[in-house]
Structure 1
Amino acid sequence: MPRIESTAARLAKLGFADGARAAQLLGQSPAGLDDLLEFLVGVADPDLALVSLTRLAEREPAVLDTLREDERLRERLFAVLGVSAALGEHLVRHPGQAALLAEPRLGEARAALLRAVGAEP
């Protein structure tokens, strides 16, 4: 039990409101989720984000590798998972739609369109 308690304390120090619950989720989650924890710290509700991320990874394990490789997707997905249980639930049910969050920002899309027609962005 000391391992769980130390993990819970570490998670609480990272900003999780319920360190024990977060430790329990990590213990039940797919291997390799620990290295993504540091990115959850800055979201509005890390506890909520971890719950949804754990469920998403159970449904679609490859999402963890994608999140490690794609910084934009990781930032956006974690931000969404940390503010909305409903959007988290939607993404768990439709994991392929998480990729939509990696699409270019408006400014980048505008610049690409302007370049495509030979105009200066």
Structure 2
Amino acid sequence: MNPGRPRRPPHSRTLVVADLLICLAWAGSVGAASQVEAGPAVRAVALFLHLGALVLGLGSVLTIDYYGMLWLLGRRSLRQSLEFAGPLHVPVWTGLAGLVLSGIVLDPDPRAPLTRVKLVLVLLIALNGV
């Protein structure tokens, strides 16, 4: 160990690996979306799943944010907020995964500026979640 160099927390490597995995999954989903051709019935089901995943993920995030606000206002302890938020990580990540997987089938046009903005925002949201 170099005494002149500050030590990084042990979990920082885990975060870097998680960020890399998110980037790889995102790139894979963008690549897969350009290869998948689905019929109208499959796209209709994918749209329903996409909206359901949005409700699940966003609803969970808003619930966590609400408890965070209660902590900021002094109505909940930090321990209460963290204990409440812990189990909600599963629906948050399930919602994001559902959005990405169903989005592959929705036939996005990667040349469209709005689609590019949405894809970058999905990546940033996932990286922020890590």
| TM-score bin (small chain) | under 0.3
Higher helix share: 2
Q: Which of structures 1 and 2 has the bigger CA Rg? A: 2
- Identify which of structures 1 and 2 has the higher relative contact order when contacts are C-alpha pairs closer than 8 Å and 6+ apart: 2
Q: TM-score, normalised by structure 1?
A: 0.23
